[in-house]
Amino acid sequence: MTGDEWHDSFTRILLEQGVDPHEAQRLSEDSRAEAIAARRHPAQLFGPAAAYAVAVARAARPAPLLAPLARAKGPVVLRLTNVTKRFRRREVLRGVDLTLHAGEVAAVTGANGAGKSTLLDICAGTLKATSGVVERAARIGYAPQQHGVAPYLTADEHFRLFGAVHRMGARKAVATGAHLAAGLGWRPRAGVVASQLSGGTQQKLNVVLGELSRPDLILLDEPYQGFDQDSYLDLWAQVYAWRDAGAGVLVVTHLLHDLDKVDHLLELQGAEDR
Amino acid sequence: MLLAIAGTSLRELTRRRSALLLVIALPLAFYAARSDEPGQAVRFLALGVGWAVATLALFSHVGSRHLDRRLAVVGASPTALLLGRQLALLGTGFTIAGAYLVLVAVAQDVERLWAVALLLGTTVLVAAPLGAVVSLALPRELEGALALLAVMATQMLADPEGTLAKVLPLWSTRELTTYAVDATSDEFLRRGLLHFAVAFALCACGAWAAAVVRLRPNTPPEPAPA
Amino acid sequence: MLDATRQQWLHGFLDFCLLCLLGERRDYGLGLAQRLAESGFGEIPGGTLYPSLLRLEKQGLVQADWVSSTVGPRRKYYRLTAEGRAAAEERVAVWREFRQAMDRVADRADLAEVETA
């Protein structure tokens, strides 16, 4: 690979990683000048173009705030009181209580089959609790675990469709979607339908659709399947960014990572046959 | 919102190339099999178009059920979701029907060409909601396609004067075909339109009721301030 | 195994190291790599060093300027901003405390070994 090829591939991957084109151009010129000054081949100085581009793209993201914002707890966006769910004789949820304010993150954990997705569906409103009281904010974002995207639509078409439901203009919806995608290290390409995206990227689309309308409450169901480690960290950074921006976030997870920072931890005990 | 749903739905349909091609080719195969006899040719063609549109509707509604549910949760009205997808299907169906109308006009000797247009139109109008109804009862593509196959094959084979044929959704197509091809009395037109009206109303209401029941979220009340 | 541990630690401390070195004086990328090597950290690959500098720049702790030279090629020089200086001081204080605690714990491991021997 010649130096020029290295720089071309570096620039291309920066763009794929969601770096703003002007910024990518600048970073590319910088690395070129840096290699010239060091009188070395860029691969020798920086390593493989792909790996370096990923590292630079991560570093170039808008800086997370060094000190967390002084968060004022907002109004209650989700309140579960003694929520129970039974499917025929099988009790999946028993006596679940939770009060989530705007500006807080709640993580729901538990083994497979412990009712995590059921709880999320009840919060979203696709399922009805057998007993107990559910109250939640009207404006929600919802990213289900599976089938959250349409295989035959491109990312921009998804943004326009969801934008229409949220009564946003088409242009604004696409711009917002692209901006949010960049935060997860992804730049949607025109003409590529969802079924052609990798599993991890489909999940990024799923998550972006969940937050497109800047909702008061965001419900996420294990959106990490197919995510690599970096995407996983980006997602959590995003979760805390939503929180700091004043949204309440409910995340279903089986990964016991990073849970020391969440405001509420709801551990579900699992199903019982009765 | 309705137009956005119809537009994206239309895009999805046109991207399912192989399904779309099969669906376009199917009525042609039916027609070719009986092209020697105008009455049968038009009847088989229309039933083929009906089958094609119903199958396409089935695929469209089965494929979008999870997404529609998600859209409904964040505020899309179930009626708009159903109507949007149906508009896209009707548009596709009328386009296919229009192309085959030209074929009939060129290749067949029929008494009333306008009635052929009418019967192709009524067939599409019944078939699109029919596919939606089947997708709600049988939420998988294979089972649904087999069910439609059973309905359409029975429609073709059953004695048109028998009760069985009359309770099937596209009996009107046969009555209108007779009227269009053989210059029969207005009685056939009247019976055909009446049957169409009933079949259309049943399928449309069924699809609408099911969409509302299936998609309408149980939106919980907003929290009272603590 | 030991190399991996070292690398992991360095990864965590690289931003801090750079703040300290830039606190001493402004420098360019290769100069910083050299000074790190002289300090005993071994060779730092550019693929690690430059993203770290970029991150500090994005956080507003470091300012970068291209400087032309009459003798050599133009180079990008980094220097601490006022915020960067404050952050460096703060981290040095935290580090001193942390190191004392770490030393106390590490010294115990030594004693235990003597007793069992």
Type of residue at A141? G
In whole angstroms, what is the distance from residue C11 CA to residue C14 CA? 5
C117: confidence class by pLDDT, cuts 50, 70, 90:
very low
Query: For residue range A216-273, what is the model confidence (pLDDT) as tens digits?
Result: 999 998 777 777 777 777 788 888 888 888 889 999 887 666 667 788 888 887 655 4
> How large is the ipTM?
0.88
Q: Mean pLDDT over residues A197-216, rounded?
A: 89
Q: Which residue of chain B has the CA closest to A153?
A: B12
Alpha carbons within 13 angstroms on the beta-carbon side of residue A242 total 34
- Nearest residue, CB atoms, B222 vs list A137, A164, A170: A137
Cβ pair A79:B15 closer than 8 A: no
B117 within 8 A of B35, measured Cβ to Cβ: no
The structure tokens listed for A81 are 């009181």
The distance of A160 to chain B (nearest Cα, Å) reads 8
Q: Which residue of chain A has the CA closest to B75?
A: A165
Whole-number pLDDT of residue A72: 62
Query: For residue range A102-156, what is the model confidence (pLDDT) as tens digits?
Result: 989 999 988 777 888 899 999 998 888 999 999 999 889 999 888 889 999 999 9
In whole angstroms, what is the distance from residue A143 CA to residue A146 CA? 9
Q: Identify from B67, B77, B79, B81 which residue to disrupt to test chain A contact, counting A C-beta atoms within 10 A and taking the largest count.
A: B67
A83 within 8 A of A239, measured Cβ to Cβ: no
- Nearest residue, CB atoms, C47 vs list A37, A47, A62: A47
Enumerate residues 26 to 65 of chain B having a beta carbon within 8 A of any beta carbon in chain A: 63-64
A274: confidence class by pLDDT, cuts 50, 70, 90:
very low
Taking the mean position of all CA atoms in its chain, how far away is CA A167? 22
3-class secondary structure for B66-77?
HHHHHHHHCCCC
Choose between A233 and A97: higher pLDDT: A97
Whole-number pLDDT of residue B52: 93
Note whether C58 contacts A: Cβ–Cβ < 8 A: yes
Query: For residue range A170-179, what is the model confidence (pLDDT) as tens digits?
Result: 999 999 999 8
For residue C18, count CB atoms less than 10 angstroms from its CB and return exposed for 0-12, middle for 13-18, buried for 19 or more.
buried
